[in-house]
Amino acid sequence: MTNLPPDEADDHLPEGPLSNKSQPTPDKQPVDIRDQRCGVVAVLGAPNAGKSTLVNRIAGAKVSIVSPKPQTTRFRIRAVLTEGPAQVVLTDTPGIFRPRRRLDRAMVAAAWGGVQDADLALLVVDARAGITETLAGIIGGLKKAAGRVPLWLVLNKTDLIPPERLLPLTAELNQQLTFAETFMVSAEKGSGVAKLQQMLAAAVPMGPWLFPDDDLSDLPDRMLAAEIVREQILRQTHQEVPHHATVETEQWTENQDGSVRIDCTIYVGRASQKAILIGDGGTRIKEVGRRARGELQHLLDRRVHLFLNVKDRPGWDEERARIRAIGLEDAG
C-alpha cells in the first residue's frame, strides 16, 4: 500500500468540476406541480461516441467524467436538466461493447438496463467512425427491444467529417432501425444541441419532477470524489493502467475548520501498473492528487485534504464486492 498525500499548492484551476448542484437563479419562478413534465432519457452508444460530453453539454455542467479513452463511464450517471415546466433526467450509460470480465458484463448490463428503465432512448453515433462492428451489435440489440421505448438518433462529431457523408450515413441507420427523430450535433462545440435539448423537454410525459430544480446529478459526494480521481488517472496514464484501475472513497472526514479530509484507495491489477501510477519518486500520483483536489475544492467550495492509497489487487475486476462498490450490479 502506498499513502501519498498530494502537494498542498492551490495552483490548479479546473476546467469544470463534476457537480450535483446548479448555481442559484434568483428570478426562477416555482412551477405548479400540475404543470410539471418529467421523463428519463437513456443515452447509449459505442465506447467513445461522445455520450458523456453530450450529457454534460445538455446539463450545462460537468456531471460525468470525460476522457479520450473508451469505456470512461462505468455505471449509470443521472444528469438532470430542468427547463421551464419540464425535467429531463439523462442517464449516461457505459459504452456497449463485447464483455470479457465480470466488470465488463456489469457495465454492459447497466447500459441495457438504462434503456429498459427509460421513457426515451438516444442512440449516440460517432459520425466520423460510421457503422462499426460494435455499433452494428448495438443496433441488433435495439431491434430486439423495438417498440418498447421511442428511439432518437444523434449523430455526433458531425463537425469532423464532410457534410456530404452525413446524409448517406443517416439514411443507412434509419433503414436498420426506426428512429422517431434524427439530430446532427457536435457535443464538443455545442452545435445542434440546443434544438435537441428543446425537443427533449417537449417530449417528456406529464408528471411530477424526480429531483429538486437545482440538482444536476444524483451521484453522492463520495462517489463523485472517486470519479474525479479516476478521471485524472485516465488523463495522466496510458495503455494498460486506466482500464485496470478503480477508485473507492474509503473515508470522508468533516473537520472543525470547515475543511474535509477524503481518503481514496486506487486498485490496479498488477504491481507493474502500481509502479506506473505512482511514478518516479511518487511524481505521477502526486500530480493525480493535486489536480483531483483542485477540482474537489472548486466543487465543494472549501479546502480539501485528499489522500490517495494505491494497492495492486489482481482480479479486482472479477470481485463482486469491488463491482458493487463502484455502483454496478453484478451481472454474473
Is it the case that residue 101 has pLDDT exceeding 80? no
pLDDT of residue 317: 64
pTM above 0.85, yes or no: no
Rounded Cα gap, residues 278 and 2, in angstroms: 8
Q: Which of 17, 76, 55, 21 is nearest to 217 (CA)?
A: 21
SS3 30: coil
pLDDT score at 97 = 45
Residue 118 to residue 307: CA distance in whole angstroms:
38
pLDDT tens by residue, 261-304: 999 999 888 888 899 899 999 999 999 999 999 989 987 889 99
Q: Which residue has the higher pLDDT, 5 or 233?
A: 233
Distance CA 248, CA 243 (A): 15
Identify which of 184, 175, 182, 112 has the alpha carbon closest to the alpha carbon of residue 148: 112
Whether the pLDDT of residue 61 is over 90: the answer is no
Query: Of the candidates 43, 155, 143, which has an alpha carbon nearest to the alpha carbon of residue 90?
Result: 43
Q: 102: which strand partners? A: none
pLDDT of residue 19: 46
At 253, list the grid cell.
472526514
CATH 3.90.1170.40 describes domain 221-325: no
Domain boundaries, the chain: 33-203, 221-325
DSSP E strands in the chain: the ranges are: 2-4, 37-45, 77-83, 86-92, 120-126, 151-156, 181-184, 245-254, 260-268, 304-312
3-state secondary structure of 31: coil
Which tens digit of pLDDT belongs to each residue from 227-262? 889 888 888 887 656 567 888 889 999 999 999 999
**Segment 128-178, tens digit of pLDDT:** 999 998 888 888 878 876 667 889 999 999 999 998 999 999 999 999 998
**CATH number at 33-203:** 3.40.50.300
Residue-by-residue DSSP string for 65-107: ---SSSS---S-EEEEEEETTEEEEEEEPPPP----SHHHHHH
